[in-house]
Amino acid sequence: MSRHPTTLPGRHPDYILVSVAWPYASGPRHLGHAAGAYVPPDIFARYHRMMGDHVLMVSGSDMHGTPITVAADRLGVSARELAEENHLGIAESFRRLGLSYDLYTTTLTPIHYRVTQEFFTRLLEQGYLFQDTQPAMYDPEAQRFLPDRYVEGTCPHCGYADARGDQCDNCGRTLDPTDLINPRSKLSGATPETRDTTHFFLDLPKFQERLQTWVNAESGHWRPAVLGFVQGWLNEGLRARAITRDLDWGVPIPLEGFEDKRIYVWFDAVIGYLSASMEWAERRGDPEAWKRWWVLDADGNAPGRSYYFVGKDNIPFHAIIWPAMLMGYGGLALPYDVPANEFLTLAGQKLSSSRTYTARLPFLPEALELFDADAIRFFLTINAPESRDTDFSWDEFQRRNNDELVATYGNAVHRLLSFTQSRFGGVVPMPGPLAPEDEVMLERARATFETVGDQIEAVRLRDGLLSVMALAGALNRYLDEAAPWKTLKTDPERAATSLWTALQVISALRVLTAPYLPFSAQQLHEYLGEKGSVHALPWMFRDLPAARRLPTPQPLFRKLDDEELAGLVGRLDEETVVTGEPI
RNA sequence: GCCGACGUAGCUCAGCGGCAGAGCAAGGGACUCAUAAGCCCUUGGCCGGUGGUUCGAUUCCACCCGUCGGCACCA
């Protein structure tokens, strides 16, 4: 899908790696995930393609890990079957949302296994991994080791009876499973035993200094919350982290004597960015192509910029651990930016895929069943949690859709295209001499490309969309001022000139909205009498030639009335939440 | 408990050293091309609290209160 439209005059194309967080294949993702990590990189990638940059946008489903094995056991299927089924569902949702991945794969591919094992081996050889034996919780009935949060018991601090081994949900304190009073396995209810187990650890302290240097150099363009998080960990001093688990579902450890252990999900998942890039290259018949985004030159400089779009819960993996792994491996580009988003909340509560709320947020398959992808993308972007948690409510969704997307932008387009049909026979009129207000309007449309472009490049996607909407607002004001429906009776040439001017702005909006609202932008492109893809256009003002005949338009978006919305939301309440664990 | 972010109009959110902003909601008006959409005007805020720095603080600093997040085997 790496389209390379006309390179903009005088611009040297960049290599832009758009790395998107890997969804955990435990079940469908919801709107919060889409707002946090999936829609933003798509906007970013689409914009850069229109700028003529070489964009590689990769991701895939994270298929391994304990939660999937537990869910699979419960359903009586294999972990592979469950993960693959969920992967297909996630991929389908992403397709319908219009996410333009160059490759959306999984962590089950041969190439991913190979690259992960190579990474492991290289880090081991370089002395960045070590073995250590530690006690861990073991469920004698289920005959498996338990992650901390699969041990439950009474909180020693507050007496809460259902505290988890990693944290007490009641008082919020961080716990160790051995702290729990009357511990029990979440899987079988049995009393867990303590057993020693040997694992490999990533020696993060060895990277402390290099990471600090890198952060100092790079963080000028990072979001404050990301820098704060990373600096917090660095100030506290990094600790080694286990990167293997007692599991049979994961990438095997490439050493003898570790057949009953696997590489842990977070270690292999981040390697997915690299292995997916390689898979993409292989699939297009140019196996070396991935290097153009990844491999440092002789002076150690990165070939372009790598962006990692994640939710804030993923910051440590992408801004500390993965950079450390890359440093240890050597020769590969470190992240340029990790534009992590905050969370989308529902009535102030963090959205979790594992808990049910009476009025909850829809999962993506449901949302896409009920609403147009562009309406969803619009809401998630105009209300994006870029600098803090933002709130989702159905009222707000309806209002943003009806009063902003439909009324301001959709209506501006529709009133103009309809007017062209009814009064000008559907033909773009020939303009007369431009009045000063026409020039001002056109100049504003041209200037918006630079404004929005700067905002998108700074990953201020919400601001960019606000700027696009502001242009639509300015167009509405221009139209009311110019009132061609009035001047038509007194000065037809003036009316024609006003309409021509306004249609040029619509022509600009078709390009400006393309990264944000890919479906309606394409629709509008066709209403403007053009064939081909709007997404292949360069990011610049595009004339709409006079005398062109335009097809009969339909409204780009539809309003959601109260009754309809209530009915749709009511349906969500009746459904039960799918199996699965929070990612 | 420790660390961090946030607290701005009824609602959702911008702004972050120099007269408080937008959209929506509320009230009024002119228009009719348009999905009763769009446009104009008005109302509406001790910018969480208390101190401090400064000629000047919503903006910088300290403390307090509140919300959320992190605290390394949840990804």
Q: Determine the average pLDDT of the residues in A576-581.
A: 35
Range with lowest mean pLDDT among A10-14, A307-311, A418-422, A550-554: A10-14
Q: Return the pLDDT at A1.
A: 37
Q: How high is the pLDDT of residue A42?
A: 94
Out of A176-180, A436-440, A492-496, least confident range: A176-180
Same topology, domains A15-127+265-370 and A130-199? Answer is: no
Average pLDDT over residues A112-120: 96
Average pLDDT, chain A: 86
* pLDDT score, position A562: 77
Determine which of A11-15, A325-329, A342-346, A450-454 has the lowest per-residue pLDDT on average: A342-346
- Band (pLDDT 50/70/90 cuts) for residue A223 is confident
CB-count burial class (<10 Å; 0-12, 13-18, 19+) for A573: exposed
pLDDT band for position A360 (cuts 50, 70, 90): low
Phi-psi region of A483 (alpha: psi -120 to 50; beta: other; left: phi over 0): left
φ and ψ at residue A450, rounded to 5 degrees: -70, -45
Q: Which nucleotides of B are covered by protein (CB under 7 A)?
A: 1, 3-6, 11-15, 23-25, 31-35, 37-40, 67-75
Q: What kind and span of H or E run contains A129?
A: strand A129-139
- A70 or A359, greater pLDDT: A70
- d(CA A251, CA A65) in angstroms, rounded, equals 10
A374 CB below 7 A from strand B atoms: no
User: Residue A3's pLDDT band (boundaries 50, 70, 90)?
Assistant: very low
Which nt has its C1' nearest the CA of A469? B23
| Nucleotide closest to A146 measured between CA and C1' | B73
Question: What confidence tier does A170 reach under pLDDT thresholds 50, 70, 90?
Answer: low
* Position A348 confidence tier, pLDDT thresholds 50, 70, 90: very low
Q: Would you tell me the crossing angle of helices A322-329 and A110-125 to the nearest 10 degrees? A: 70
Average pLDDT over residues A156-168: 74
- Lowest model confidence (mean pLDDT) among A6-20, A155-169, A286-300: A155-169
- Mean pLDDT across the stretch A132-160? 82
* A197-201, A206-210, A565-569: the lowest-pLDDT one: A565-569
pLDDT score recorded for residue A427: 97
Higher-confidence residue of A232 and A413: namely: A413
Supply angle C-alpha A113, A118, A123, rounded to 5.
130
User: Which one-letter DSSP state was computed for residue A341?
Assistant: B
Mean pLDDT of the region A94-122: 96
Based on the number of CB atoms within 10 Å of its own CB, is A124 exposed (0-12), middle (13-18) or buried (19 or more)?
middle
Average pLDDT over residues A467-473: 90
Q: Are A290 and A16 in contact (CB under 8 A)?
A: no
Residue A108 DSSP label: T
Class of domain A373-536: mainly alpha
ipTM: 0.85
Q: Rounded distance, CA A448 to CA A363, Å? A: 34
pLDDT at A222: 83
pLDDT at A356 over 50: no
Q: What percent of chain A clears pLDDT 90, i.e. is strictly above it?
A: 54
> Could you say which of 3.30.1600.10, 2.40.50.140, 2.170.220.10, 3.40.50.2300 is the CATH number of the domain covering A130-199?
2.170.220.10
Under a CB-based contact definition with an 8 Å cutoff, are residues A478 and A441 in contact?
yes
Q: Is the CB of A134 under 7 A from strand B?
A: yes
> Is the C-beta of residue A204 closer than 7 Å to nucleic acid chain B?
yes
Q: What is the pLDDT of residue A172?
A: 63
Closest CA to A497 of A472, A479, A512: A479
The reply to whether A426 has its C-beta less than 7 Å from any atom of strand B is no
DSSP E strand boundaries for A144-283: 144-145, 151-154, 163-164, 181-185, 193-202, 241-242, 244-245, 251-252, 262-263
Query: Residue A387: pLDDT band by 50, 70, 90 thresholds?
Result: confident
Fold (topology level) of A15-127+265-370: Rossmann fold (3.40.50)
Mean pLDDT (whole number) for A512-533: 96
What residue spans define the domains of chain A?
A: 15-127+265-370, 130-199, 373-536
The pLDDT, as a whole number, for residue A358 is: 34
pLDDT at A324: 93
Does residue A225 or residue A358 have the better pLDDT?
Answer: A225
pLDDT of residue A349: 46
Q: Is the pLDDT of residue A295 over 80?
A: yes
Residues 51-110 of A with CB under 7 A from strand B: 62, 65-67
Query: Of chain A residues 257-276, which have a beta carbon within 7 Å of strand B?
Result: 264-266, 269
> Does the CB of A553 fall within 7 Å of any strand B atom?
no
